[in-house]
Amino acid sequence: MADEAQLPALETTSAPADTRRRVYAKPLLTSVLSAAVPGLGQLVQGRTARGVLWLAAFAAAISVVVMLRTDSTYAGFMVSMVLMALLTISAACDAFFSPVSKARLKAPAFLIVVPFLIAIVFALLDTALLIVASGFKSFKVGSSSMEATIEKGDDIIVDLHAYSRHGPKRGDVVPPHLYFLLGDARDISLDSRSPEFGMVDRNNIKGRVLYVVNSERVGKRADLTQPTPIPGGPAS
């Protein structure tokens, strides 16, 4: 009863600063806990039912993201990031504002944004961990060898499980019905590596070269000729 009688006095500006800091210390701590793991802060506060509900929602969100591998598309990646942000922000705000409102306190303006900032940081961290848990990994491209499909400096997401059941196949990188062609004489060829040549549309491929009929190499099969090794490549 004595504690409840003192609560209205904390609403006034005459309350000592150190007293106000002590009053908001636990809500801030529990909001950090719930930003890291939604529901954890509520359990520390003794709100068991609410904490279990937040934990169940967090576990369900993780299960959906990992099982459906939503990060396999950019849209899915954005959905998972927004989902984590909403969960962590809501749980952090609940852990901070519920005890403050129950005690009829008015939080200082600068403290109101703290749960949001903390939750956003943990949402980004949770998203990064979910990417790894789902079998994906981010890389920064350091060369220009795949331009303009993938350019130097791009941050890309790679599926580490893509070839666990089958090997690479045509169309994994480049647009449909287009072909990236390389000349056999790699050092002097004007081929798809050059911007002025680019990729070749399927309709522009007229046929398959079979053999030579008019030179000192009459009868030479074109499809058995070995290309010039690429410098630094596996055949060099």
The string of pLDDT tens digits covering residues 48-64 is 999 999 999 999 999 99
d(CA 162, CA 176) in angstroms, rounded, equals 19
Which of 108, 82, 91, 23 shows the shortest CA–CA distance to 52?
91
Phi, psi dihedrals of residue 221, rounded to the nearest 5°: -75, 125
Question: How many other CB atoms are found less than 10 A from the CB of residue 111?
Answer: 16
Confidence of residue 23 (pLDDT cuts 50, 70, 90): low
- Locus of tokens 């003794």: 46
Res 164: pLDDT:
82
The beta-carbon contacts of 151-158 under 8 Å, at least 24 apart in sequence, are: 157/71, 157/77, 157/131
Res 83: pLDDT:
92
Residue 46 pLDDT > 50, yes or no? Answer: yes
d(CA 199, CA 181) in angstroms, rounded, equals 7
d(CA 131, CA 71) in angstroms, rounded, equals 7
| Chain centroid, CA 139 distance in Å | 11
- Residue with the bigger pLDDT between 25 and 118: it is 118
Q: Which residues 6+ apart lie within 8 Å of 203 measured at CB? A: 177
Cα separation values, 87 from 13, 62, 179, Å: 34, 11, 44
pLDDT tens digits along 172-191: 776 778 888 887 777 788 88
Q: Stretch 104-129: mean pLDDT, rounded?
A: 82
Q: With contact defined as beta carbons under 8 Å apart, do 124 and 131 qualify? A: no
Total-model pTM: 0.64
d(CA 180, CA 200) in angstroms, rounded, equals 7
d(CA 34, CA 43) in angstroms, rounded, equals 9
Res 215: pLDDT:
67
pLDDT tens digits along 121-160: 999 999 999 999 999 988 888 877 667 677 888 888 899 8
Q: With contact defined as beta carbons under 8 Å apart, do 173 and 154 qualify? A: no
Res 220: pLDDT:
65
Res 12: pLDDT:
41
pLDDT tens digits along 198-212: 888 888 887 776 777
Q: Stretch 60-75: mean pLDDT, rounded?
A: 91
The 8-class DSSP code of residue 104 comes to: T
